[in-house]
Amino acid sequence: MYELYSGMMPFFEIQADLLVVHAVTKGQRPSRPSPPIRRIYAGWDLNIWNLMECCWAQKPEARPIASAVIARLRTRMQNLWSGFCPGS
């Protein structure tokens, strides 16, 4: 999702893979791209960013289960398209 949101690889600012692993084990997560870098597509907003951050929780038990992520994305897309497609 990060690549879709930003058009870049997560941790694009860190050059070595080993340093990325070290950053993640220390609790660091990908930085939110600044607006000039971020690709803004319909629906890719703060709600989506917050969902990604939930999925990156350090403790696995704090992360949402896959079905909850799918439900949240499905609801988000339905809300976006309901304004564009009459009768949907």
What domains lie within the chain, and their CATH numbers? 2-82 (1.10.510.10)
Q: How does pLDDT run across 29-86, given as a tens digit for each residue?
A: 998 877 655 555 545 678 888 999 999 999 999 999 999 999 999 988 887 777 666 6
Cα distance between residue 70 and residue 66, in whole Å: 6
Please tell me the predicted confidence (pLDDT) of residue 32: 82
Q: Per-residue confidence at 87, pLDDT binned at 50, 70, 90?
A: low
49 contact partners, CB below 8 Å, separation of at least 6 = 5, 32
Q: Please check the confidence at residue 22 and state whether its pLDDT lies above 60.
A: yes
For 85, the token pair is: 């497609």
Please tell me the predicted confidence (pLDDT) of residue 35: 63
User: Does an H or E element contain 47, and which?
Assistant: helix 46-55
Cα distance between residue 82 and residue 43, in whole Å: 12
